[in-house]
Structure 1
């Protein structure tokens, strides 16, 4: 055990906030509706900061003040009919935990997720009714060396990555004594109802279909029981550039069918997809899907307001046969991913929104695999994979008044096929891939991941 809990508080907004029930958008209620973890490590300069107790007090005081403009995070979710959720803005508060560790920061090596690091993040008990669960858990863990970690578990039913980073960044500003820079836009559902036109075209939304199973299996129960492991794979800028060159090799970008070279995400996601299929030893005729997460804030007109607080992401599958992925160049996988991303037009988003509004029950669209090991996400698990991009999120440089973090990373996750791409912390063009895969496949995956680019 890396950490021992010493105290736990419920922190409420510093001032009275609006009370009432807020309707969530359809985008808030599909996909992952549980909590997502993130952790920061700090090694403060002892000559420049106040004692540890003052650090905790600064965090708690500024968090209470941040919950005034971001008051939905102090509320609670509750179920209503049709497998839908609404947000009760009741000001019940968030959970703040203080813990201590006998370890030093140096004992954690490169900070890659490990069994020991699980205790550094708050535990969310999904056996409790959803209306009793805080939407935000915060854990401050002090280490023997004087350093500390700050970990959050934040509800994905209320925030996507962009909104979560917005909140965390404004909280840090308040802790430094600065005013809020961009106020959150909280009237999301009303905005959508007022401004989104009816779709002019109805699409066959393949993203709402069941993902492929392994050939010869009618369900994924057997695969869901396989032991998984999480690994962090690092690529230098030179390795990323080499992969991009491989993806774009032989492509004529003056051709009207090809608008531009493949991006970092399209290249890296394609590489991960191919390596996963190869390491899983897929047959040529095996269908496989890669889940792409597309932010549609700027894809609809009018664009969502600055500071839009909520989910504005669309999950779209790129599909292929494993044989095509592996027999064709990397550019083929990248082209399948680009095709999926480019489907997410304004009309496509509006059509999907209308479809979800008219669904009698949203339960089958809700991904609860983060809470229950027996359930998996719609694009996770053999033969499928999810590749989430944090490349454009402002995830680094979080300064609460004692300097920037020495490391930031996602919370531990152990679901077969989950992966995310993060930019290197130094801004040097390097990337980190956090990948969860079955133990039986991970060594072969690493071999294929690096073999052509070392």
Structure 2
């Protein structure tokens, strides 16, 4: 696949009236400071007709006038604290074309070939980059399997073990099954400890509740741990319960205690051992990390011709980093992206698809719609 770059330029905010001062800045919260500092590339695909690139550029400029942070730059204040400079320097806007049809270019699996469909992520000063492609033929879908029959008896079983009137959530059940399947495929030592790190959004957990429109990071991590032997020997609800309890413990009290801690520990380096992950590591073995994008309204991004037909992350070569997304099929199922070492992947796929599920019936639907990434 060859990608031809037509133009690359900085796009700045478009203000209807007098522009604001470009000497202002926004301080970062403690949650901004301790989360990942990296660009994340995602892929959108739209059915024709699509608006001209000039219209998309104008829409981007108008959006930047409202969300000035994206057109700014990271910097530091006089005390050395990280800030966002509201200098309106702009975002990178790239126009490109591809030499083949979309159905031959974009597969349902993140791969290294996708990196040419977005700008380089290394050493970038712009907070946002946008690359638009003129593609000859748009994907029309096909080759997907319909939902399998569900067995509601498995839901009653899960409720009894959970000890409540509610079954484990789809997220907890699905991640629990993935945790066990990946652990088995990795052939870990039975006495070894494996853990799953889950990002937890604090908006609905803080009291008073923080609006979903809050602009910034408000995430801490939950850690579910287990001995390999216990994880594989016990039934599936054992893993689901570990995940459930770990996430529930990241509550209002936990978030506020973290804020209190941060107020006493001014230096950023004091926070690093508690929450920051090394995103340059490409191997999480024997652990996993789960990033759930299930509640992000990706499919609401409409440029006038309807929402995207496909949304997916680009290539992310971090072994053990799992992404959960709402499926582009639109039937409520979930797409799961699981990077594993190639020699372990066949065992994982076989065990995942043919093992008996012991939790909610929802997972039958989810597992049949997995999109595997190697």
- Give yes or no for the alignment of 1:64 onto 2:68: no
TM alignment of 1:385-400, pairs within 5 A: 385-400=288-303
Q: Which residue of 2 aligns with 1:252?
A: 160
- Which of 358-367 and 85-94 deviates more? 358-367
Q: Closer, same or farther in 2 for the Cα pair 1:386/1:80, shift >3 Å?
A: farther
Match of 2:45 among 41, 47, 53: 41
RMSD: 2.6
TM-score between both structures, scaled by the size of structure 1? 0.70
Q: Which residue of 2 aligns with 1:275?
A: 181
Question: For the Cα contact (< 8 Å) 2:46–2:307, is it kept in 1?
Answer: yes
Alpha-carbon distance, 1:144 to partner: 2.9
Give the whole-Å Cα distance in 2 for the aligned partners of 1:366 and 1:343.
19
Match of 1:442 among 340, 345, 349: 345
Listed one character per residue, the Cα deviations across residues 182-228 of structure 1 (whole Å, up to 9, x for unaligned) are: xxxxxxxxxxxxxxxxxxxxxxxxxxxxxxxxxxxxxxxxxxxxxxx
Q: Closer, same or farther in 2 for the Cα pair 1:245/1:385, shift >3 Å?
A: farther
TM-score between both structures, scaled by the size of structure 2? 0.84
- Give yes or no for the alignment of 1:121 onto 2:118: yes
Q: Which residue of 2 aligns with 1:139?
A: 131
- Which of 325-334 and 424-433 deviates more? 424-433
Question: For the Cα contact (< 8 Å) 2:96–2:131, is it kept in 1?
Answer: yes
Report the count of equivalent residues: 345
Listed one character per residue, the Cα deviations across residues 238-260 of structure 1 (whole Å, up to 9, x for unaligned) are: 48x56x9657626427x8x5352
Match of 2:241 among 305, 329, 335: 335
Give the whole-Å Cα distance in 1 for the aligned partners of 2:340 and 2:106.
22
Unaligned runs of 5+ in 1: 149-233
Q: Which residue of 2 aligns with 1:91?
A: 88
Question: For the Cα contact (< 8 Å) 2:158–2:168, is it kept in 1?
Answer: no
Give the whole-Å Cα distance in 2 for the aligned partners of 1:113 and 1:59.
25
Question: For the Cα contact (< 8 Å) 1:34–1:368, is it kept in 2?
Answer: no
Q: Closer, same or farther in 2 for the Cα pair 1:412/1:250, shift >3 Å?
A: closer
Question: For the Cα contact (< 8 Å) 2:203–2:212, is it kept in 1?
Answer: no
Alpha-carbon distance, 1:28 to partner: 0.9
Q: Which residue of 2 aligns with 1:353?
A: 259
Give the whole-Å Cα distance in 2 for the aligned partners of 1:106 and 1:92.
36
Unaligned runs of 5+ in 2: 357-367, 369-374
3-state SS of 1:106 partner: helix
Give the whole-Å Cα distance in 2 for the aligned partners of 1:306 and 1:125.
30
3-state SS of 1:396 partner: helix
Q: Which residue of 2 aligns with 1:427?
A: 330
Alpha-carbon distance, 1:417 to partner: 0.5
Give the whole-Å Cα distance in 1 for the aligned partners of 2:192 and 2:233.
13
Q: Closer, same or farther in 2 for the Cα pair 1:82/1:260, shift >3 Å?
A: farther
Listed one character per residue, the Cα deviations across residues 410-437 of structure 1 (whole Å, up to 9, x for unaligned) are: 1210101101111222332322111111
Give the whole-Å Cα distance in 1 for the aligned partners of 2:74 and 2:63.
20
Give the whole-Å Cα distance in 2 for the aligned partners of 1:81 and 1:262.
49
Alpha-carbon distance, 1:97 to partner: 0.7
TM alignment of 1:176-215, pairs within 5 A: none
- Which of 60-69 and 84-93 deviates more? 84-93
Q: Which residue of 2 aligns with 1:22?
A: 26
Alpha-carbon distance, 1:310 to partner: 0.6
Give the whole-Å Cα distance in 1 for the aligned partners of 2:79 and 2:172.
36
Q: Which residue of 1 aligns with 2:8?
A: 8
Q: Which residue of 2 aligns with 1:177?
A: none
Q: Which residue of 2 aligns with 1:206?
A: none
Alpha-carbon distance, 1:443 to partner: 1.2
3-state SS of 2:66 partner: coil
Question: For the Cα contact (< 8 Å) 2:98–2:133, is it kept in 1?
Answer: yes
Question: For the Cα contact (< 8 Å) 2:173–2:237, is it kept in 1?
Answer: yes
3-state SS of 1:103 partner: coil
Q: Closer, same or farther in 2 for the Cα pair 1:142/1:432, shift >3 Å?
A: same
Listed one character per residue, the Cα deviations across residues 35-73 of structure 1 (whole Å, up to 9, x for unaligned) are: 11211112304xxx56xxxx1101110100001110111
Q: Which residue of 2 aligns with 1:163?
A: none
Question: For the Cα contact (< 8 Å) 1:3–1:100, is it kept in 2?
Answer: yes
Question: For the Cα contact (< 8 Å) 1:291–1:315, is it kept in 2?
Answer: yes
